[in-house]
């Protein structure tokens, strides 16, 4: 677990593993913003985030809105890569509606859904929960990167 992260005794890595969650292997910014968890079942994919002190609004004891936006981007990106069969996509649009605060120590979840796919775009949505409480809902549009566009982006350095 990253240094500076405090998790309540209710949620911990052993409990998550026992409930079928696997730590999501991520790098770069995604690794900094996590840790993220993943599990799959007959209903699809579910993504989780253990909200520690480093995810907080300091003195408020709540999860920072930017953390929730990053979580939405990660969760939606997973279902998009499943839909296109490759990890080559970029976030084109992301909207998140905050409905109630999430507290530090919560295990946050999203069961993202790809609702429509074209040859170049994937449309997604999802509810974000802390236990049985809905803390927000979001939707996004992701651009599918074909080999040519991906090569151009890599050549330009991003």
- What's the pLDDT at 3? 36
Residues 6+ apart with CB under 8 A from 53: 4, 5, 6, 104
- What's the pLDDT at 53? 86
Return d(Cα 25, Cα 31) in angstroms, integer.
8
- What's the pLDDT at 139? 98
- What's the pLDDT at 120? 93
**Nearest Cα to Cα of residue 3 among 52, 49, 37:** 52
Own/partner contacts of 150-158, CB < 8 Å, gap of 24 or more, are 150/88
Name the average pLDDT for the chain: 87
- What's the pLDDT at 6? 41
Where the chain has pLDDT below 70, the residues are: 1-9, 27, 158
Beta bridge partners of 95: 139
- What's the pLDDT at 59? 82
- What's the pLDDT at 158? 55
In three-state secondary structure terms, 131 is: coil
> Can you list the domains of the chain with their CATH numbers?
13-156 (3.10.129.10)
């Amino acid at each position: 677990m990253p240094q500076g992260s405090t998790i309540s005794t209710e949620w911990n890595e052993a409990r998550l593993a026992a409930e079928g969650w696997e730590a999501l292997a991520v790098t770069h910014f995604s690794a900094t913003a996590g840790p993220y968890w993943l599990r799959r079942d007959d209903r699809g994919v579910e993504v989780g985030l253990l909200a520690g002190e480093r995810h907080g609004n300091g003195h408020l004891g709540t999860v920072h809105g930017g953390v929730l936006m990053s979580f939405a981007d990660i969760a939606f990106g997973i279902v998009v890569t499943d839909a296109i069969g490759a990890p080559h996509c970029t976030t084109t649009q992301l909207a998140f509606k905050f409905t109630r605060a999430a507290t530090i120590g919560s295990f946050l979840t999203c069961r993202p859904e790809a609702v429509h796919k074209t040859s170049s775009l994937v449309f997604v949505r999802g509810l974000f929960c802390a236990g049985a409480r809905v803390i927000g809902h979001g939707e996004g549009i992701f651009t599918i990167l074909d080999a040519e566009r991906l090569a151009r982006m890599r050549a330009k350095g991003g």
